Amino acid sequence: MIYIRADGNTAIGMGHVMRCLAVAEAVTKLNCPPLVFLAADEGCRELIEDRGFCVFSLETDYREMLGEMPQLERVLDRRSDLVFVDSYYASDEYYLALGKLARVACFEDLGVPHPVDLLINYNLYAPQLEQRYRASLNEQNQQNLYPKNVLLGTSYMPLRRAFQKPSGYQLRDRVTQILITTGGSDPYFAAGAITDALIKDTMILEKGIHLHLVSGPYNQYAQELQSRYGSTAQITIHEKVKNLRSLLLESDIVISAAGSTVYEASSIGVPMVVFYFAENQRQGAEALAACTEITNAGCFAEEGSAVADRIREAVRRCISDSAYRERLCQQETALIDGRGAHRIAEQIEALCRRS
């Protein structure tokens, strides 16, 4: 069996589950064993089952992953099982214990090597971390505290199926539609601050630009969004979004938190402005700004008002400079080829054969 261990809820959002679903869909197209998701609780069951996969709830605390080892010991078979882990709460102690029960692969975003059979960091900055991963292998191999194999860079970005095909996106002469997305959750109500900053801007008001707000499945401010903007003709709130690709294709600018959505927007080529909430998103936002002309507006959790102001200024530039938007489109589409999930699935297939 192949097991994918991931969680999603209001506190951590849905990024872990979404990228694992992309990998799961690619795995099912290959000659691999059956696949089941493992989750600490029921928080992400509906999303996973809607995509056609079974979920087994461990009924544990997602922040205390060592506590789930008794359940895993009853389930896993070291001779034939593989567990793909995606969690920032998985420690080296957890991976070492899990490695005694099954082959182990994981996503990793922070440049921290783990004792697994396969480690994947698909971020733009990942190739810069190769020496760190390799040094760990050379220095700690006696303690088995290193990844046996690493896959680095955007070639392994696991885009969802909808974003794996050519987009056919066309830049329009002028900006009329702006999309704002804060991920699966919005812990600091960034959507409200960004929207307020934009609708008070005379350039946006005078040009009649329409704002589209994506309210994620774990947005604790969903009702507040409706209360503030639900009756505003210039604003549309989108809940339970099933087809983000269509929204992106219809947008002239996308303002996004620095998660998986920025890679999906890049694959289409929508001119983008990014910001971030937490440290694990900082490197991605900074790398994106370093290799393109995309504006990284900064950490909303630390300086929300200033971030909203920087986003407004970046939007004004996009509105007034069509050549700049064209450059962004070209730079973004050069980053991603859409086959990352398939490449990961091939590595999982090979690891299953070796086991």
For 164, phi then psi, to 5°, come to -90, -5
Residue spans of alpha helices (H) in 230-293: 244-249, 260-268, 279-291
pLDDT for 139: 55
pLDDT for 174: 94
Cα separation values, 137 from 112, 149, 233, Å: 12, 10, 57
Please state the pTM of the whole predicted model.
0.84
pLDDT for 78: 73
pLDDT digits (tens, 9 = 90+) for 202-248: 888 888 899 999 998 889 999 999 999 999 999 999 998 989 999 99
pLDDT for 144: 56
pLDDT digits (tens, 9 = 90+) for 246-267: 999 999 999 999 988 999 999 9
pLDDT for 355: 61
Burial class (CB in 10 A: 0-12, 13-18, 19+), 137: middle
Residue ranges, the chain, pLDDT below 70 = 136-145, 355
Cα 293 to chain centroid distance, Å, stands at 21
DSSP-assigned states of every residue in 298-321: EEHHHHHHHHHHHHHHHHHHHHH-
Please name the amino acid found at residue 170: Q
pLDDT for 71: 94
